[in-house]
Amino acid sequence: MTTTYSEWTAAQERATVAVDGHDLEVAYRDEGTGDPVVFLHGIPTNSYLFR
**pTM for the whole structure:** 0.64
Average pLDDT in the chain: 87
Q: From CA 2, how far away is CA 32, in angstroms rounded? A: 18
Per-residue confidence (pLDDT) for residue 40, from 0 to 100 = 82
Tell whether the model's pLDDT for residue 1 goes beyond 70: no
Q: From CA 33, how far away is CA 35, in angstroms rounded? A: 7
pLDDT in tens, 3-48: 898 988 888 899 999 999 999 998 888 888 999 988 888 788 888 8
